[in-house]
Amino acid sequence: MNDASTRLRFTLFRLLAIAAFVVIGARLWELQIVSSDQYLESADANRFRLLPTDAPRGIIYDRYGRMLVRNVASFTVSVVPGGLPQDAAERQRVLSRVGELLQMQVGSRPQIAEEATGSDPAAADTTSIEGILALRYNGPYNPVRIATDVDRQAALILEEEHPELPGVLVETEPIRHYLEGALTAHILGYVGQIPASELDSYLADAEQAYASDDMVGLSGVEYTQERVLRGVPGQKHIEVDVYQREVAVLASSEPEAGSNLILTLDVELQRYVEEALSKGMRAAGSEVGVAIAMDPRTGEVLSMVSLPSYDNNLFSGGISYSDFARLNTDPNHPLLNHAVGGQYPPGSTFKLVSATAVLEDQIVDRSTMLYCGGTLWLPNKYAPDDRSLDQPFYCWHRSGHGALNIVGALLQSCDIYFYQAVGGFEDLVGLTYTRLAEYAAEFGFGQRTGIELTGEATGLVPDDRWKRQNYGENWVTGDTYNAAIGQGYILATPLQVVSMCSTVANGGTVLRPQVVYQVTDSEGRVLQGYMPVVSRQLDTDPEDLALVRRGMREAVQYGTAWGAQIANLSVAGKTGSAEYAAWDEEGNLIVDEFGYMPTHAWFTCFAPYEDPEIALVIFLEGGGEGSQTAVPVAADILKHYFGLDGTSERPATVTAP
């Protein structure tokens, strides 16, 4: 090799070296100078997170400061989508191990972008891990909660295996613990993750700043008082490791705890009412029952029991499919608060409305006597002279009550008296159904009371148009007769019935029933006190309502509600037995020897008669005669409430916690 060739080779090598250093330098310039901000931002995105911190949810107490709901620590498992392995097989391995420990299906991986903007959120898969990740995806580095109230052993194993499970987080978060369980479930309700069908509306609430996997109230006061209980979320700026686990908190803003609720409920009274109602249901062979106690002076609901009930703690950590299926398919509907959502014919309790109406419109007065012979034969309007076409309407007392005034009609619960007074008969021009419906609406029937609970039904006060639309028939006098005694098409909730009784008891003030007594902060300072809400004032003569109350008092002293007589306590009440259609296994309508169908048992009352401080309603589905089955339940509760059985130990005043 000659010198010229050697020099050429060295020259080429130097040129190549120089070119390589130029390329490296240019690349370093591009990385460190030109694109430095971009790569720094990318590195920070992998290392830093700005995460919301949940505010402690407010505590709920009864009227005497007894705790009903508290927050308890539990293990929660979340997944950071961007922290999962990119390799499909590795991702499947990680999620399969998580699913194995949590006893969850992994599911097939949907396209996240497609699922996040899908057309039907309600149809999204919310049971598998992949389905939850798709539905609640909110960016690659925002954790998605996939399981709450995780078994301690499973949580510890996940934490131990975290080097092999990138993107999987095990955290400790509070969940709701309902101390009384089924006793207060229908009032308190429960919390859970935002339903898929409502996710968009929650996320659109900029003021509350909801995240896609937040826990929110789903029923009861947990739902209606969500904004009060929720508090204000905080934020924290954290640094994470390669496994997406927090290693340092760089900055934070503390959340503001939710406000506490004090309910009007007396939990010890609630416990006794449930026991008394359960006993009455067993005696009557009833599967569904309701008992409500209300202060007629203020509208405060002191007790509300709907049986059967359910344990709302089942929902705190995410209810299992088997538990939900069991509750949802139960024919007695334990998830339904029958006190506000059950709609039934009110039977003779509705005669309080009828009596008020016929007195106020001067169809009858205190001395008007109408005759009950046990059966009223209503002539056919199209052939009044053909008596063979007359339709019989019976009183519950087939032998008849004879001549009665309005007080006697309430005392004996005479059906024929109210047939005539409301619907008219022979020379007596009755009230008419139109006017009866107007009075019913004034008392609150056919509309929601506005109580702070979910699932409240309106009941039904029908009219001629309603009957034509639903049955293709015109309203007739017989329909008015049935409506006058709370039968036919009229439907009411137990809450509407006790509200009616309270209105009669207090002299005509329709109060909105309420279950929230006070809102307090964490230090016990009252932020919102109780204020009775007057829905309307009946435009009635006080003497007319006094006559109705008198009829209720004499019903207890001498009539159908005699079982509510209590020594040293004056009780006024009205019984009810409402027929309903039922069929046997062969599909035949069930009737007794007199042609009567089975009946629901009702009783509503107030005490003391002279100065009412409590109103009650008792309802036993299929319970038979109200005088025989519902009245004893009310008497038992009243004895306890007024301390006449030696068991009542009510505190003297409401106590803020």
| Separation CA 653–CA 63 (nearest Å) | 9
Q: Give the model's pLDDT for residue 122.
A: 45
Q: Give the model's pLDDT for residue 165.
A: 85
Is the separation of the CB atoms in 124 and 115 below 8 Å?
yes
pLDDT above 60 for 36: no
Q: Give the contacts of 445 (CB within 8 A, at least 6 positions apart).
A: 353, 459, 461, 490, 492, 496, 500
Q: Give the contacts of 357 (CB within 8 A, at least 6 positions apart).
A: 363, 422, 431, 435, 436, 439
Is the separation of the CB atoms in 117 and 185 below 8 Å?
no
- The reported pTM is 0.84
Is the separation of the CB atoms in 617 and 501 below 8 Å?
yes
SS3 category, 326? helix
Name which of 439, 402, 415, 440 is nearest 560 in CA terms: 415
At 163, the pLDDT band (50, 70, 90 cuts) reads confident
Residue type, position 406, single letter? I
Report pLDDT digits (tens) over 430-468.
999 999 999 999 999 999 999 999 999 999 999 999 999
CATH number of 49-263: 3.90.1310.10
Pair type for strands 289-294 and 301-307: antiparallel
Q: Mean pLDDT throughout 462-477?
A: 93
Q: Give the contacts of 341 (CB within 8 A, at least 6 positions apart).
A: 455, 456, 457, 493
* Same fold across 49-263 and 267-309+336-641: no
Q: Which residues pair with 216 in a beta bridge?
A: 192
Name which of 638, 412, 413, 604 is nearest 493 in CA terms: 604
Report pLDDT digits (tens) over 612-623.
999 999 999 999
Residue type, position 76, single letter? T
> How many of the other CB atoms lie within 10 Å of CB of 623?
28
Looking at the chain, the number of H-run helices and the number of E-run strands are: 22, 23
Is the separation of the CB atoms in 613 and 607 below 8 Å?
yes
Q: Which CATH class is domain 267-309+336-641?
A: alpha beta
In this structure, which long-range contacts are made by residues 522-528, counting pairs with CB atoms below 8 Å and at least 24 apart in sequence? 522/257, 522/260, 524/656, 524/657, 526/656, 527/259
At 116, the pLDDT band (50, 70, 90 cuts) reads very low
Q: Give the model's pLDDT for residue 151.
A: 83
Q: Give the contacts of 35 (CB within 8 A, at least 6 positions apart).
A: none
| Separation CA 121–CA 271 (nearest Å) | 41
| Separation CA 299–CA 408 (nearest Å) | 30
Would you list the domain boundaries of the chain? Answer: 3-34, 49-263, 267-309+336-641
Is the separation of the CB atoms in 267 and 180 below 8 Å?
yes
Report pLDDT digits (tens) over 575-622.
999 988 887 777 777 777 667 788 999 999 999 999 999 999 999 999
DSSP H/E element including 11: helix 3-29
> How many of the other CB atoms lie within 10 Å of CB of 504?
28
| Separation CA 50–CA 237 (nearest Å) | 5
